[in-house]
Amino acid sequence: MITLGVEEEYLLLDRSAGTPVARAAQVRRAADLQPAMDHGEVQRELLQAQLEVATPVSRELDEIGGHLVRMRHALGEAARQDGCLLAACASAPFTDRLPVPVTDTARYRAIHSDAPRLTDEQLICGMHIHLGIPDRATGVALQNRLRPWLPLLVALAANSPLSQGTDTGFASWRTVVFNRWPVSGLPPFIDGPEEYDRRIRALVEDRLIPDTGQIYWHIRLSERYPTVEIRAMDVQLRPDEAVMLAGTVRALATRLLGEEIPGPPAAAFRPETLDAALWRGARHGCADEVFDPLHGGLRAFGDAVAALVEFTAPAMGDDGRHVTPVLERVLREGNGAVRQLGELRRAGREGLVRMIADQTTGA
């Protein structure tokens, strides 16, 4: 069984206005005092209105879900005590007060100095899934084979339709914002770990990026852990949706590492096809057709998800009890992007902020 770890990024919002507030340091200190939170579990992020948590390495989805609920509850309580809200939305829906200060570390100050406007606009939050791998050769093979599935995963996970108080027209605005960095988006097809290392080393040696930490591909080999890191998905409003995506991605990876799989080989997909498919997934989310790598073209979203379910079924096992009901609910009610826009129309700004906060902590 492939081991799992999940990282989640969150925003801190003003309780009434729903705008980002620079309270990360204060909320981190309050979180360290929460009985359910281990010291140091909450990490800083680029801007002072963002925080990050990471689950321990786990084998069971039960463990992932338990850790996410525990940390969201504790961090949400710490935010409440500090007078703000924890928000698992992948873009700040309202930004009346810009810019939010950058977190005061040498690395983050350097990033802001290099790209100030882009850094100021990074009020976005992702979900990163780490899959344990036995070696880097397996990691590169898995990276190659997962690439064609990212457009569908981005569409399914879309949870960032709003920015600066307006409907962006994109289900995942975070994807658009994050893809503006160098060495971002879909990685190229790479022929083995030696070529992987050679290509990223050349970027640093040619002084195009300062270090390999600025490899921002949607899938990459972790520099710190023996994992493949899938970074393409928006953070999820509900913790059980994060668990559903983790289980889906693990089953998909298990299936893709099998010797014989249906569909075109990974190398057959042209990079421009996948780039356009990813853009479309971010644009429409679950509201329109999406790229289906098994059939090599656009299909109705529900049909593409059904094909994904059928493809991953042999590798899903007991994880299905966490994945299937939540996936069925998302197909009925819509993903986070659909629900955010629906709540804004129904209950206005105040109602949307309340819904985001409630669903973040599982209320």
Cα 349 to Cα 12, 47, 165, 335, 342, distances in angstroms: 16, 23, 9, 19, 11
Residue 166 lies in a domain: yes
What is the domain count for the chain?
1
Tell me phi and psi for residue 95, to 5 degrees. -135, 70
Residue 208 lies in a domain: yes
CATH number at residue 186: 3.30.590.20
DSSP helix/strand/coil, 21: coil
Residue 266 lies in a domain: yes
* Cβ pair 339, 65 in contact under 8 A: no
* Cβ pair 214, 181 in contact under 8 A: yes
Note the helical H segments in the chain. 24-32, 61-81, 106-114, 116-120, 136-146, 150-157, 173-178, 193-205, 239-256, 271-284, 301-316, 320-333, 336-360
- pLDDT, residue 262, reads 63
Residue 142 lies in a domain: yes
- pLDDT, residue 79, reads 97
Residue 358 lies in a domain: no
Residue 31 lies in a domain: yes
Q: What range defines the domain where residue 194 resides?
A: 4-346
The answer, as to whether pTM is greater than 0.85, is yes
* Cβ pair 13, 19 in contact under 8 A: yes
Residue 203 lies in a domain: yes
Cα 84 to Cα 23, 223, 309, 351, 353, distances in angstroms: 8, 34, 39, 16, 11
Instruction: Give the integer Cα–Cα distance in Å for 224 and 243.
Output: 23
Tell me the mean pLDDT per 10 residues along the chain, length 363.
Answer: 96 95 96 89 96 96 96 96 97 88 96 95 97 96 96 98 96 97 96 95 95 95 93 98 98 88 74 97 98 94 97 95 97 97 97 97 77
Q: Which residues of 232-258 are buried (b: 16+ CB within 10 A; e: fewer)?
A: bbbbbbbbbbbbbbbbbbbbbbbbbbe
Classify strands 184-185 and 216-217 as parallel, antiparallel or unpaired: parallel
- pLDDT, residue 264, reads 67
- Structure tokens that stand for 222 in this block: 């972790």
Residue 363 lies in a domain: no
